[in-house]
Amino acid sequence: MTPPLRAAVELLDAENYTFVLQTPTALYCSRLRGVAPLMNLLEAGKDLSGGVLADRAAGKALAMLVKKAGLKEVYFRMLSAPAQQFLEENGIPYLYETLVPTILNRKGDGPCPFEAAVLAFEDAEAGYDRIRRLSMQMGLLDAGIL
């Protein structure tokens, strides 16, 4: 683990954040869940390339956003098997604590809708477009949540 990623993980723990992203020029922290923090930054046009991310959980949708953002190293408390495969296939260095078959929705009674929406995608741009459309369909972008 590189020093910048170690610092992000320590901040994730110390401040009970769900998301800590350190870029070469900025630090972004959030307590929002799911794809929301990274999607929000991408939608705002932030340059995140070369950054490191510490996050509580990642499914394939978040892994695709990591690639689109150009992050260089990531850490997840929980990582889904499809996300792990995507990170491996795209050469993105990652660390995790727990590997799970899939990320569950917030009720815990089925798969995360974002992970389910991108399972068949291998291209990060196509995945991003699908995540964005789903966010809009769910009213998340319009509500200012993302």
pLDDT digits (tens, 9 = 90+) for 47-101: 999 999 999 999 999 999 999 999 999 999 999 999 999 999 999 999 999 999 9
pLDDT in tens, 8-52: 999 999 999 999 999 999 999 999 888 989 998 998 899 999 999
Tell me if 28 is assigned to some domain: yes
Q: What is the pLDDT of residue 95?
A: 97
Tell me if 146 is assigned to some domain: no
How far is residue 35's CA from residue 15's CA, in Å, rounded to a whole number? Answer: 19
Bridge-based pairing of strands 94-100 and 73-80 is parallel
Q: What is the CATH number of the domain that holds 37?
A: 3.40.140.30
Tell me if 55 is assigned to some domain: yes
How far is residue 105's CA from residue 111's CA, in Å, rounded to a whole number? Answer: 5
3-state secondary structure of 110: coil
How far is residue 134's CA from residue 146's CA, in Å, rounded to a whole number? Answer: 12
Tell me if 102 is assigned to some domain: yes
* Parent domain of 90: 3-137
Tokens matching residue 82 = 């499809």
Contacts of 87 (CB under 8 A, 6+ apart): 63, 66, 74, 94
Task: Answer for the pair 40, 27: CB distance below 8 angstroms, yes or no.
Answer: no
Examine the pLDDT at 139 and tell me if it is beyond 80: no
Q: How many domains is the chain partitioned into structurally?
A: 1
Tell me if 20 is assigned to some domain: yes
Contacts of 2 (CB under 8 A, 6+ apart): 52, 73
Q: What is the pTM of this model?
A: 0.93
Tell me if 51 is assigned to some domain: yes
Q: What is the pLDDT of residue 34?
A: 87
3-state secondary structure of 55: strand
Tell me if 60 is assigned to some domain: yes
pLDDT band at residue 106, thresholds of 50, 70 and 90?
Answer: confident
